[in-house]
């Protein structure tokens, strides 16, 4: 640890993103209490079937303190949460996909929502995962049109219609024959991930694996 990092930890001690306790070990992603009580998804519970994807993995269920942590990360500008949350996702991918991947990418925000929020939460998570696993992180998609937030749509059919045609491939993604990990923060209906996975397949990806921090109801 550098002297500068140690000083920052002393002045602004890292806190658990789920309960705000000061971390006894600053490099840990969460506190021992949350490690015990968070709604971890183990075995098949942490997997989802997503159309056009070869697998979809999540370390946590979207409930209890997980909901609050993700809300603070996305809407209260606590972008530093990307580090501990991304570390949990990296560990999940390491456990679920032992053969690794060639590229990591993410489901991007629209330009309008990016201006409003100031950062792309999935993009930051993807970069943390990539750094943790030494996998290149490459932007391969862009939002072709602004859409309603998927969280505001209750019916799966409405979510699918909202996501259909909402993304397009960026040129120069170099995905031909590659194993690609697609990152998002939450998976609900699977519609967003399925649409993005479809495009990655069209771009030549040999396999697409989805990775989300938390899994909510249904089949985003």
With respect to residue 112, please indicate whether it lies within any of the assigned structural domains: yes
User: 84 and 23, same structural domain?
Assistant: no
- Residue 143: count other Cβ atoms within 10 Å of its Cβ: 18
Distance CA 33, CA 99 (A): 31
Same domain? For 16 and 99 the reply is no
Contact 166, 144 (CB under 8 A): yes
Is 166 inside any structural domain? yes
In this structure, are 175 and 104 located in the same domain? yes
> What confidence category does residue 4 fall into, taking pLDDT thresholds of 50, 70 and 90?
very low
Distance CA 202, CA 204 (A): 5
- Domain, as residue range, for 95: 40-215
Same-domain pairing of 64 and 169: yes
Look at residue 199 and give its three-state secondary structure: helix
Residues 120 and 61 in one domain: yes
* Residue found by looking up tokens 């040999």 in the block: 206
> In angstroms, rounded to a whole number, what is the distance separating the alpha carbons of residues 142 and 144?
6
Average the pLDDT over 203-213 and give the result.
97
User: 63 and 127 share a domain?
Assistant: yes
Asked whether residue 161 carries a pLDDT value surpassing 80, the answer given is: no
Residue for token digits 């032992």? 98
CA neighbor of 33 nearest in space, from 25, 51, 21: 21
Q: List, as one string, the DSSP characters of 64-118.
A: THHHHHHHHHHHS--GGGHHHHHHHHHHHHHHH-TT--SEEEE-PPPHHHHHHHS
Task: Answer whether residue 147 is part of any domain.
Answer: yes
| 83 falls within a domain | yes
Same-domain status, 65 and 25: no
pLDDT above 60: residue 190: yes
User: Domain check: are 18 and 71 in the same one?
Assistant: no
Assess whether 175 and 70 both reside in one domain. yes
Measured CA to CA, the distance from residue 107 to residue 50 in angstroms comes to 14
Q: For residue 220, what pLDDT band results from cuts at 50, 70 and 90?
A: very low
pLDDT single digits (tens) 46-82:
999 999 999 999 999 999 999 999 999 999 878 999 9
Q: Are 212 and 183 in contact (CB under 8 A)?
A: yes
64 and 30 together in one domain: no
| pLDDT tens digit sequence for 104-144 | 999 999 888 888 889 999 999 999 999 999 999 999 999 88
d(CA 112, CA 116): 6
135 domain residue, yes or no: yes
Instruction: Indicate whether 48 belongs to any domain.
Output: yes
Structural domain contains residue 220 = no
Task: Specify the pTM.
Answer: 0.87
State the distance between the two ends of the chain, measured CA to CA, in whole angstroms.
Answer: 39
In this structure, what DSSP letter does residue 30 have? S
What is the C-alpha separation between 10 and 17, in angstroms, rounded? 18
How far CA 20 is from CA of 15, 35, 75, 125, 170, in Å, comes to: 5, 13, 17, 20, 38
Please report where in the chains the tokens 């991947």 appear, as a residue: 101
Average pLDDT over residues 160-167: 66
Claim to verify: residue 64 and residue 133 sit in the same structural domain: yes
**In the block, which residue shows the tokens 């000083």?**
7
Asked if 123 and 99 sit in the same domain, the reply is yes
Domain assignment present for residue 127? The answer is: yes
* Total of domains in the chain: 2
């Amino acid at each position: 640890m550098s002297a500068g990092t140690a000083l920052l930890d002393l002045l602004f001690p890292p806190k658990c993103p789920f309960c705000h306790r000061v971390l006894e070990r600053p490099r840990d992603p969460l506190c021992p209490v949350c490690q015990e009580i968070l709604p971890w998804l183990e075995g098949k519970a942490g997997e989802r079937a997503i159309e056009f994807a070869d697998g979809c993995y999540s370390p946590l269920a979207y409930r209890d303190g997980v909901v609050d942590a993700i809300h603070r990360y996305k809407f209260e500008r606590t972008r530093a949460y990307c580090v501990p949350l991304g570390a949990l996702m990296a560990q999940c991918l390491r456990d679920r996909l032992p053969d690794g991947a060639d590229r990591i990418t993410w489901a991007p925000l629209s330009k309008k929502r990016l201006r409003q929020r100031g950062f792309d939460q999935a993009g930051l998570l993807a970069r943390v995962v990539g750094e943790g696993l030494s996998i290149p992180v490459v932007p391969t998609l862009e939002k072709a049109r602004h859409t309603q937030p998927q969280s505001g749509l209750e019916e799966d059919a409405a979510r699918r219609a909202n996501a259909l045609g909402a993304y397009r491939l960026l040129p120069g993604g170099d995905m031909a024959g590659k194993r690609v990990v697609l990152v998002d923060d939450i998976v609900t209906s699977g519609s967003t991930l399925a649409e993005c996975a479809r495009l990655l397949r069209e771009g030549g990806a040999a396999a697409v694996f989805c990775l989300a921090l938390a899994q909510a109801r249904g089949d985003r």
